[in-house]
Structure 1
C-alpha cells in the first residue's frame, strides 16, 4: 500500500550533504570508511586486468585516453566521468567487493567517483572520507523505504541506490550548497537502472560503473547550474514511488545525521569472490569437511537450504563460465568440498569444468527453505556420506560481518592477494598504508599515485 508520508527525501538528503563535516564524524565511521577504501581499491586492482573491468578500461581508452583521473591498477587516465565508470566496473568485476544489509554493494559506486574527482581536484583524504560516509548513508536511507520489495522485483540495488549515493558523495566533494545538491540529487533520480536478470554476466559489474558515472555527472552538472524538478526522488511519481512496488515505507527512513547506518549496519567484507548469498553455504560446508575430515569421495550428497532471496540471486545450477559460477550455490559448495580455498582462481573459466568439482556439484541439491523470510542469510547444509553418516551445520550469517569482521591483518592480506593476482606495477604495502590512513592524507592524488 502506498505511503502518504510527508517526508521530503531530496530535501532531507540535500540538507544533510550540505552540512556534513569531517570533524563531526565519529571516529568509528572514519575507520569504517578507510577500510572500505582499502577493500574496494584492492578488488578494483584485481578487476582492472580481466573480465568486465578490462573491457571497460579498453573501451574507455578507445574513446580517447588522457585526463585528470587515473585508472586504478593499470597505466593511463581519462576524464573524471570516464575514469569513474571504468574503475567502478573494475571494482565490481570479480564480485569480491563489500556488501551491506546483505543485499547490495555500497562502496564501489561511491569509491570510484570519489577517487576520480578527489584526484582531479587535488582534495585531501578527509574530504574523500566525508564524501564516502555521505554516499553510504544516502544509500541506506533509500533502502529504509524501498527494501525488500525493490530487490524482490528484480532491481539491482547496487545500481539504483548507488547512483543517488554517488551523486550525494560528489556533491559533498564539490562543496555544493543545499540548493545545488538538491538539483544534483533530482537529476540523478532520472538515472538509476540495473536488472538482476543480468547477474552472471559482465553487465552486472557495468551497473556499478554506470552508477558511479551517473551520480558523478549529476553532481558536476548541478555545480554548473543544471536544473531538475524538486521531488524527483520522492513519493509522487518519483524514485520512491516508481521503484518501490506496492510496499513503500518512507516513514522508516533514518533521521540523517542523527542516526548513522555505517555504525548500526556496517559493512560486510567478502571472504569469497562470489555472490554473498553463497557465503554461508560455502563456509558451513568448509567447516563440515574440516571438522569431519571428509574427502570429496566421501560425499554421497549435499543438501543446501536457504532463503528465497538466495534463490532469486543464484541463477545457475550448472554454470558454464566463471561469472555464472559466482551465482551458483551447487558450484560454490562443491568447490568448498574439493578445494582448500574458494579463492579467485576457483572462478577462472578454465577451472569451472574441474572434473572433481563437477562430480561433487552433481550431488548438491539447492532448495528454498519455506520457513525463512525473503532476505535472510540463514543457510543449512546437510552432508550425507558414502558411509551413511549425516553431518549438518546451520550458518546464520556469512563470515566478515560487522559482528565478526575481517581483522586488519586479514584485510591487508586480501588487498595483497588482489594486487598479486593482477600482476601489475603496484607496491601493495605502500598503497595499503596510504589507503588505510586515507583521512590523514594531504592529497588523494598522493594515494592514486601509488596505484
Structure 2
C-alpha cells in the first residue's frame, strides 16, 4: 500500500528510522556544521548575516539565533542567513540523482525553527524532523528534474521538504503538512542552476531563498493558509518516485559527501590527477596539458582563472591545477593568494574540458570524467574513467568525515568548541532536551 507523503511525515517516529538513516543524519550534522564554520568567514555569509537582522527581526513566532553568529532574528531570517552561510563554501552534503544539495537548506531551517518554536525538542525529535525533510526533499527533487524542462537549483525542491518538515515540527496535522508542501513548492525559488554555473555569483544553489520559503510556508499552513497540492508530491507524473515511501530510503541511498570544497562535478578529475601525480611521482613542472573528458554540464564549469570563491566553486580547471601543483584542494586553495598563484594559473590555462557524449549519457546517477596528463617530454598518462568518492558505493569513512570537519572548523571555532560540537553532533539523536539545546547553542555562538 502506497503511503501519502503527508501521512508519512505526520506519522514518522524515531523508532521507524533505520540505523543507516540515523548514521547518515549524524554524519550530515557534523559535516554541515564544519562547512558552516568556514562559510561564516566568507563575504557572502557576512552580507547575509548583516541583512537578516535588518529585515527579519524576531516576532511572535519566537527568536532564533544566526548560525555561527548569535544575532537574534526570526526563524525565517535565521534560515536565510544560515543557508547562505553553508552554501558559501561548496563542501556540504549532496544528492547526485537530484544534481544538488539538501542539508544546506534543511539544517539552517530546522535549527532555526527548533530554537524559535520547539524549545523542548530533544535529539530523537530532531532526527524525525531531519529525516522527513531529507526524504521528502530528495523525492520532490527527483520529480522536478523528471517533469520540468529547466534545471532548477536545490532551493526549488528543498523548499518543499523544509515546508513539510517545518509543519511537522510545529505539531501540524497531515492536512497542514500537505498544504505547507504546496505553499513551499508554489513560492519556492525556481532559479536556473546553469545561469549560476555560466555566471558564478553569490546566488549559488538557491537554498538561501529555498530555506526561508519553506519555513514561511510551515508557519502559514499552521495558521490555516492553503496551498495544496504540491505537484512534486501529488502529481501523477511523479508517482513512480513515491511508490516506496516508508520502505525505501533515498536518504540512505542518495546522500553523498565531498572531499573537496568545490562543485562535485570536478571531483572525479581531482581524484584522478591526485592519484596519477602520486603513482608516477610527477612534478607540476612536468605537466604540459591536461585533457578531461566529461559530461556536458561539467564542461560549462571551466573556471580557468577564477577571481573569487564563487567562481572557484563552479570550476574544474583551476581546482584540478591546484591539486597538480599543491597536492591538495582545501581551505588554503580558496584564498586570494592561491587564486593568483602563477604556477596554478599556468596549469589551469592548460586544462582542456572535452564534451564527451558517452560521459553525458552515463552521467545520471553518477558523475563521470576521464583524465589524460600530457607531459612536456611528450608522454601521455591516461587514467580510467572515474566517479567521485563519497557516494554510497565509494563512501568516505567516518575518520575522513571527522578529519574534514576539523580541518574546516578548528581554525575558525578553535579546537575546544569544534571538538564539543563534533562529540555532540555524532550522537545528536541520543541527546536529551538540555543536551540538544547545548549543541544548538554551540552551533549558533559567534565565530
Q: TM-score scaled to structure 1, two decimals? A: 0.89
Indicate conservation of the 8 Å contact 2:143/2:232, yes or no: no
Query: 1:321, CA displacement in angstroms?
Result: 2.0
Q: Separation in 1 of the partners of 2:271 and 2:232?
A: 40
Say if 1:364 and 1:211 are closer, same or farther in 2 by CA, change over 3 A.
same
Say if 1:365 and 1:315 are closer, same or farther in 2 by CA, change over 3 A.
closer
Indicate conservation of the 8 Å contact 1:300/1:384, yes or no: yes
SS in 1 for 2:204: helix
Q: Note if 1:362 corresponds to 2:361.
A: no
Q: Separation in 2 of the partners of 1:304 and 1:369?
A: 9
Q: Separation in 2 of the partners of 1:154 and 1:344?
A: 29
Q: Note if 1:147 corresponds to 2:145.
A: yes
RMSD of aligned C-alpha atoms? Answer: 2.3
Q: TM-score scaled to structure 2, two decimals? A: 0.90
2:323 matched residue in structure 1: 336
Indicate conservation of the 8 Å contact 1:70/1:448, yes or no: no
Q: Note if 1:384 corresponds to 2:374.
A: yes
Q: Separation in 2 of the partners of 1:72 and 1:418?
A: 15
2:71 matched residue in structure 1: 76
1:131 matched residue in structure 2: 129
Query: 1:148, CA displacement in angstroms?
Result: 5.3
SS in 2 for 1:371: helix
1:202 matched residue in structure 2: 202
Q: Separation in 2 of the partners of 1:371 and 1:407?
A: 30
Q: Separation in 2 of the partners of 1:250 and 1:355?
A: 53
Aligned with 1:181 (options 177, 194, 201): 177
2:240 matched residue in structure 1: 251
More helix as a share of residues: 2
1:244 matched residue in structure 2: none
Query: 1:386, CA displacement in angstroms?
Result: 1.3
Q: Separation in 1 of the partners of 2:80 and 2:123?
A: 21
1:211 matched residue in structure 2: 210
Q: Deviations over 1:57-112 (max 9, x none)?
A: 11113347666212222232211111111111101111111111251111111111
Indicate conservation of the 8 Å contact 1:144/1:253, yes or no: no
2:340 matched residue in structure 1: 353
SS in 2 for 1:231: coil
Q: Deviations over 1:217-238 (max 9, x none)?
A: 111111122222x324259xx9
Aligned residues: 428
Q: Separation in 2 of the partners of 1:181 and 1:58?
A: 32
SS in 2 for 1:97: coil
Say if 1:392 and 1:138 are closer, same or farther in 2 by CA, change over 3 A.
same
Q: Deviations over 1:352-392 (max 9, x none)?
A: 12101011112110111111215441110000111222111
Q: Note if 1:261 corresponds to 2:250.
A: yes
In structure 2, runs of 5+ residues without a counterpart are: none
Q: Deviations over 1:197-227 (max 9, x none)?
A: 124211115x212111111111111112222
Say if 1:234 and 1:58 are closer, same or farther in 2 by CA, change over 3 A.
closer
Q: Separation in 1 of the partners of 2:115 and 2:171?
A: 15
